[in-house]
Amino acid sequence: MHQFIALGSLWLLAAISPGPNFVLVARTAARHRARASLFAVAGIASATLVWGLAGALGIRGLFLAAPWAYIGLKLVGGAYLIGLGLAMLRASTRPGDGPPRAHDQPAARALFRTGLITNLANPKTAVFVSSLFATVMPPQASIGWSLAAVVMMALISASWYAVVALVLSRPPALALFSRVRTAFDRLVGIALAGFGTHLILSNAR
């Protein structure tokens, strides 16, 4: 049981570290309110399940055996984050005062897809999960034990980002956002593009 707790604690620390997921949820909550951002959270949690299962199955070994696959995923993921960041930068130049109207709300499917792909864009997550399982979990952990650990990781991610979404969609946060909306959108766009650029450039290391 102590391995399970250790795994959960390490994953929580990883989840709360600022990154593309946090930036996406923060921006969606501030711009489109809590309900919309929770669809993005669901996408992020679903991607956590994917990377968790990949890590539990030892995808790190595959990446070591076929480094081109890892590099390819990083390039594609980095390009996606850069594109998402540039799209947000373009959106920041459009006039738009006041709260978002009903027809301005993005579709739930689009929000879910954005959360899913944003989290899947970083294959380092799979390597990190593989390392966690290798160092924390018992060597002979059963399939059921591993699946339970992956589900726990997804629940931790969903819980953390749901809290972020709910806090940042509260009236005080929305009032602040309404005053700094353009600057905030530009900062988010730059941050996402920066994460993507870092992901691509890390191939040279």
Angstrom distance (rounded) from CA 161 to CA 45:
9
Instruction: Note whether residue 68 is domain-resident.
Output: yes
Give the pLDDT band (50/70/90) at residue 102: very low
Pinpoint the alpha helices (H) of the chain.
2-16, 20-56, 59-65, 67-92, 108-120, 124-136, 143-168, 171-201
- Closest among 169, 171, 189, 179 to 90, alpha carbons compared: 189
Give the pLDDT band (50/70/90) at residue 95: low
pTM of the model: 0.79
| pLDDT tens profile 1-12 | 677 888 888 889
Q: Identify the pLDDT of residue 59.
A: 67
Q: Which two structure tokens, joined as six digits, stand for 19?
A: 């990154």
Instruction: Note whether residue 14 is domain-resident.
Output: no
Q: C-alpha 134: how far from its chain's center?
A: 23
Instruction: Note whether residue 40 is domain-resident.
Output: yes
Total domains in the chain come to 1
- The boundaries of the domain holding residue 109 are 2-7+20-204
Angstrom distance (rounded) from CA 118 to CA 34:
18
